[in-house]
Amino acid sequence: MLNFVLSLLPGILIVLFIYHKDKHEKEPYRYVFFCLLFGMLSCIPAIMGTLAVEYAMGIPAPAQSLDLRVVAFYAFIAVGLSEELAKYIFLRLYIYRKEEFDEPMDGIVYAVIISMGFAILENVLYVYEGGLNVAILRMFTAVPGHAAFGVIMGYYIGLAKFHPSPSQSFRLHLQGIFSAALVHGAYDFFLFQNNFILLSFLAFAILIIGIWMSNRLIHLHLENSPHNEENKI
């Protein structure tokens, strides 16, 4: 029971944090719930994407390969791009069209909530197999990482929805997907590679940079929010 609670706790706390951060206009609870649910469901296409890349390219699991090119391809494409694209699909097809998605900051809020749905289910599965130590480690690494990837994607998706140019909006969608996948892939690459143990510590550097970027991007959208009273003067 303790392991189960610890596997849920970090994702729930981050959802509460990002909901609190959205101080200008809160999102409806029902959309928070459904985004969490769809985030969990996004694990299915993410796993399918990872398996499809592995099968098509004949890539061994990264722990079985000392070739850094194989590890990089696995981290950036089979995992990073597959998972971020799966989250994006639910973000784009479900919440993006809602009237309540009415400012760029909502892109961050909903992307993070979907990411936390994904992270919670993933966390439950990993903790079930690995136990308490895995729960504690992932509480400070993988789950905040997914939140940072969500902020990065959501920042650009929020800009895309309200950009007057369709071509520029499309570019921002792509920028959101690939920026999140790039940071996600870099984080996983340093964890997956077994050639140089010290390189593994760079995963934590990527995580710290991602969290720093996230705080900056959240601040930018809050500052420029149309619901910010200072912008109404």
pLDDT at 66: 65
**Confidence tier at 60 by pLDDT (50, 70, 90):** low
C-alpha 79/C-alpha 64 separation (Å) is: 16
pLDDT at 62: 61
Q: Give 6-26 pLDDT, tens digit per residue.
A: 999 999 999 999 999 887 678
Which residues form the domain of 90? 2-20+28-225
**Confidence tier at 56 by pLDDT (50, 70, 90):** confident
Instruction: Determine contact, residues 114/18, Cβ cutoff 8 Å.
Output: no
The pTM score is 0.93
Instruction: Determine contact, residues 43/126, Cβ cutoff 8 Å.
Output: no
pLDDT mean across residues, the chain: 91
- From residue 17, give the alpha-carbon distance in Å to each of 38, 69, 148, 218: 19, 37, 13, 12
C-alpha 189/C-alpha 223 separation (Å) is: 34
C-alpha 165/C-alpha 148 separation (Å) is: 27
Residue 121 counted as domain residue: yes
Residue 198 counted as domain residue: yes
**Given a cut of 90, is residue 3 above it in pLDDT?**
no
pLDDT at 129: 87
**Residues 133-161, mean pLDDT to the nearest whole number:** 95
Residue 165 counted as domain residue: yes
Residue 151 counted as domain residue: yes
The lowest-confidence range among 47-61, 97-111, 155-169, 212-226 is 47-61
**Residues 138-157, mean pLDDT to the nearest whole number:** 96
pLDDT at 23: 77
pLDDT at 230: 63
Phi, psi at 209, each rounded to 5°: -65, -40
Helix axes of 2-21 and 132-139: crossing angle, nearest 10 degrees: 10
- Structural domain tally of the chain? 1
Q: Which residue has the higher pLDDT, 223 or 63?
A: 223
**Given a cut of 70, is residue 155 above it in pLDDT?**
yes
pLDDT at 61: 62
Residue 122 counted as domain residue: yes
**Confidence tier at 83 by pLDDT (50, 70, 90):** very high
Q: Which amino acid is present at 88?
A: Y
**Residues 126-130, mean pLDDT to the nearest whole number:** 89
Residue 135 counted as domain residue: yes
**Residues 165-191, mean pLDDT to the nearest whole number:** 96
The alpha helices in the chain, defined as continuous H runs, are 2-21, 29-41, 43-57, 68-73, 82-90, 105-130, 132-139, 142-161, 166-192, 202-223
**Residues 197-204, mean pLDDT to the nearest whole number:** 90
Residue 232 counted as domain residue: no
**Confidence tier at 63 by pLDDT (50, 70, 90):** low
Q: Which amino acid is present at 122?
A: E
Residue 118 counted as domain residue: yes
Helix axes of 202-223 and 142-161: crossing angle, nearest 10 degrees: 40
**Residues 86-92, mean pLDDT to the nearest whole number:** 97
pLDDT at 141: 94
